[in-house]
Amino acid sequence: MLRKIPYGESDFKKIIKENYIFVDKSKYIEVLESDASYQFFIRPRRFGKSLFLSMLSNYYDINNKDKFQELFGDLYIGKNPTLKKTSYFVLRLDFSNISTNQQKENLIKSFDVKVIAAVNDFLIRYKELLSNEKMENNFNDAISAISQLSLKLANSNNKILVLIDEYDNFANDLITSNEKLYYDVISSQGYIRTFYKNLKSLTSTIIDRIFMTGVSPILLDDLTSGFNITKNLTLDKRYNQMLGFTEEELRLLIGEIQINNFNKEILITDMKQYYNGYLFCEECDTRVFNPNMVLYFLDNLIKNKKYPKNMLDLNIKTDYKKLESLAFNFKDEETIESILANEEVEIDLVERFNLEFMYENKENFISLLFYMGMLTVKESFLGNITLKVPNIAMKEIYWEYFRRKLSENSNLHIENVKVNKAIKEMAIDGKCDLFIGYLEEFLHNISNRDLIKFDEKYIKVILLSIFMSNVYISNSEYEVEEGYIDVLLTKNKAFEDSIKYEWIIELKYIKEKDRNNLEEIRIQGLKQLDRYSSSKKLTSSYDLNYMKKLLIIVIEKKEVEWHLE
């Protein structure tokens, strides 16, 4: 029977029992168990956190004693079980989808509903083991539910493992929409902080371990005075690969599915471009793929026998729309433009945020982009970390943001009809007349104020933003033996039968006062294109008979010189 791709699945038991492929991360259970009792761990959205929590829940659940071999027998931890396996009552709290768009009362009510539902589920699951105790289950609020639960277990020999998913979900919404309400619920007497204080107090009685996850440490500092017991494992090198797929794991995953019509090495190379690149520790060197993106890709590949039309899962793209709101709050669009142009930034990474001083420090914003998965570690030297955009999927998020910002200026609105015609001409006929014409028209509309920051990198950002379409994959600063190609346009393989030509584009920019150097710059650019097109990396990966070489020289914003081969 063919194994199924667990795209969108986060129920560990279902994945194991219903013939889904499972990338075994269970070895980290013994590492976590030997670490601090109360743990905090951050990873970007859709990076496998909920599935990992589900695995922990099933592993430690006392109800699974008789099911342990069935669920874990084929996994690392089943062959190397720890002393605490199937020894806990497990309380799972999920704080996603808490209402934040109305008043304080609605947020608290939504929070209460989540906690009360979790406690009631707990009491149902462990009814037989707690049958000698009596307690009404009609709790008034989250705090009373947790408090009464402690009374219920006061005489039990078993302890509770608390698993908290998306601890910060509502906080991330509030900091972009309602800071006043955020301060209100997490202040020293605020409802959320009071809840966590109560949770902390139970660690001396019934709670033995806590594992909590989220996408940012924004809420962590503001909870510190009431909940200062968790150890932050986010940047610990032992856990760099705990979530996400290594290349080795990806190869094993691909080996489990039938993709006879596709070359395995080409698939991995393509997925590296789009989904790889994440490094969460400056001392580590093994990068990981975003697991949700990989599963989305493979699920489409199996079902449709071709690459997906949209290489980036639209669900993930929706999640990252918060970038624009964060940029607005930080009033730091300049940083985004800098990241777009340079594709990297140096920083002292911030590990805890205090919202009172949140927007005063540019490094807070950059650090937040790191935790969200919009940036990742490139390298570290003498205590400073250089972050970079991890892959094309994330670059597209930035380009789309920049495109929207351009469109807010009526003079710079990108005309999709004209752009699509130009791209089709490039793809089918190997000509660029329409595109060059549109680029000239667009550049003429740039204001003198914007011209101050105008340079080759800024042109490249504009070019990549214009080129956002389903026809080409835009590779910025594509590395070959002879250097870095400014822009490499390769086929979207979902449409490869309709696309004839791919493109190497070299960009140059000169001021009007340097026009005398135009011929020298043209010769230099053409030589670069020749070197790039003869590189082993390019010749081994693409059909150069259908690879166009285009040199674009922008003279101030007045003129566009170009040469096509």
Pairing of strands 483-491, 472-480: antiparallel
Residue 26 has what DSSP assignment? T
CB atoms within 10 A of CB 96: 11
Domains and CATH numbers, the chain: 24-239 (3.40.50), 247-316 (no CATH), 320-388 (no CATH), 409-564 (no CATH)
DSSP calls for 488-528? EEEE-GGGTTT---EEEEEEEEE-GGGGGGHHHHHHHHHHH
Pairing of strands 207-214, 160-165: parallel
Q: How many residues does the chain have?
A: 565
Phi, psi of 149 (to 5 degrees): -65, -35
Q: What is the pLDDT of residue 139?
A: 85
Is 508 in contact with 521 (CB distance < 8 Å)?
A: yes
Q: What is the pLDDT of residue 132?
A: 56
| List of residues 6+ apart from 560 with CB closer than 8 A | 436, 439, 440, 443, 552, 553, 554
Distance in angstroms (rounded) separating the CA atoms of residues 18 and 4: 8
Q: What is the pLDDT of residue 328?
A: 67
Q: What is the pLDDT of residue 23?
A: 96
Distance in angstroms (rounded) separating the CA atoms of residues 466 and 440: 13
Burial code (b: 16+ CB inside 10 Å, e: under 16) for 270-293 equals bbbbbbbbbbbbbebeebbbbbbb
Q: What is the pLDDT of residue 310?
A: 85
Q: What is the pLDDT of residue 454?
A: 67
Q: What is the pLDDT of residue 133?
A: 55
| List of residues 6+ apart from 522 with CB closer than 8 A | 508, 551, 553, 561, 563
Residue 262 has what DSSP assignment? S
- Hey, is 415 helix, strand or coil? coil
Q: What is the pLDDT of residue 137?
A: 66
Tokens encoding 114: 């989540």
- E strand spans, 177-279: 207-214, 231-232
- Hey, is 112 helix, strand or coil? helix
Q: What is the pLDDT of residue 540?
A: 86
Amino acid at site 474: S
CB atoms within 10 A of CB 311: 23
**pLDDT one digit per residue (tens) for the chain, 565 residues:** 678 999 999 999 999 999 999 999 999 999 999 999 999 999 998 899 999 999 999 999 999 999 999 999 999 999 999 999 999 999 999 998 888 877 888 889 999 999 999 999 999 999 888 865 555 567 889 999 998 888 888 778 889 999 999 988 887 777 777 778 888 888 777 888 889 989 999 999 999 999 999 988 877 776 766 677 889 999 999 999 999 999 999 999 998 888 878 888 889 988 998 898 899 999 999 999 999 999 999 999 999 888 998 888 887 777 776 666 766 677 777 788 888 888 889 988 888 877 677 777 888 889 989 998 999 999 988 778 999 999 988 888 888 888 887 777 666 777 889 999 999 999 999 999 999 999 888 888 776 655 556 677 878 888 888 877 788 888 888 888 888 999 999 998 888 889 999 999 999 988 888 889 999 999 999 999 999 999 998 888 889 999 999 999 998 767 899 999 9
Q: What is the pLDDT of residue 254?
A: 92
Tokens encoding 68: 């342990």
